[in-house]
Amino acid sequence: MAKGRKNEPRSQQAVQDLVTITLTEDLEHARDYEALLKENEVPAVVRQNKDAPDTHTFAVMVPEDFLDEAHVIIESQDAYRDFCQYAFEDNEEFADEGIEDDEF
């Protein structure tokens, strides 16, 4: 433990050991990321962004040791969500043309 940190309260030390993995304007979205990370055994917390107190942004934070793993998990989830949105949009296009899914 660093010498200058001995007298700091434990909760303040814990927050200082965390790094922001992503920012979001939607608390529910931040909570979804937090749950996803915890499901994958990555400790995570959501905090209101103190760097921009006049905005309503939320930081999803993880211990620095888990930063790389957390990035991979979130990027994988975002890629999956993007793929699903793309697939759903394609189905809407086919529905507009009168083509049913069971005709494939």
Task: Look at the block and give the residue holding tokens 């993995």.
Answer: 21
C-beta atoms surrounding 33 within 10 Å = 22
Share of the chain above pLDDT 70, in %: 57
* Region 23-28 average pLDDT: 90
Pairwise CA distance, residues 80 & 94, whole Å: 21
Within 13 A of 38's CA, how many CA atoms are on the CB side? 11
Pairwise CA distance, residues 33 & 24, whole Å: 10
Structural domains present in the chain: 12-97 (3.30.70)
Mean pLDDT of the chain: 75
Residue 11, pLDDT above cutoff 60: no
Provide the strand spans (E) within the chain: 18-24, 45-48, 58-63
**Two structure tokens written together for 27:** 């608390």
